Amino acid sequence: MSIEQHLDFVADALTYLRAHGFDQIEPTKLAEAGWMRHVDDAASITLFPQANSWYVGANIPGKPRTFMAYAAGVDFYRMACDEVAAREYLGFALSGPGGAHCNDGVIRRLQPDVQMVLEQMALLDLPPMESLPPEQARALMNEMNVARPWGPDVGEIVDGSLPGAAGDLAYRLYRPASPGQTSYIP
């Protein structure tokens, strides 16, 4: 995430607080749990959580492994922050001399990959899948899959292992079909 985006969000939040008579802002428990679920969902579609690194807390013995960085990207993070502000700081409890206001809720309920597909469908002006009868939904999916090219034919699958610090690491290599033999180092 860019520090500039964080500063913009905080500055806008402070302006909003002052304008509405608040001087404190705290995330709600529900919003925290929802955001952590969203961060975990975004990381789970990557290899980041599989790494034995400080990103997941591996550098601290006994610490639960959790990927804390936001893997869905800066654009989606900014959109989430902008939506929080547009919805009067959804997921935050505000208080101060002007009173108290709690706007509890979760900003991102969909998994990031599902959200991206739905946003692309909306940009293409396609009907929401849930609005279609099953036959039309299947036909739409088949049409969308036609545009996605198939990968190369798999000519060989090789299972192996590489030595690692904590033991051997298993791998599976998919090699495209090709004329002639290709050499590789096991």
Domain-by-domain residue ranges, the chain?
3-133
pLDDT at residue 178, as a whole number: 78
Q: Report pLDDT digits (tens) over 12-46.
A: 999 999 999 999 999 999 999 999 999 999 999 89
pLDDT tens sequence across 47-97: 888 888 888 888 889 988 888 888 988 888 999 999 999 999 999 999 999
Determine the CATH number of domain 3-133.
3.50.50.60
Closest C-alpha among 148, 160, 154 to residue 178: 154
Instruction: Collapse the DSSP code of 171 into the 3-class scheme (helix H, G, I; strand E, B; otherwise coil) and give the result.
Output: strand
First to last CA, the chain: 39
Q: In DSSP terms, which residues pair with 102 in a beta bridge?
A: 93
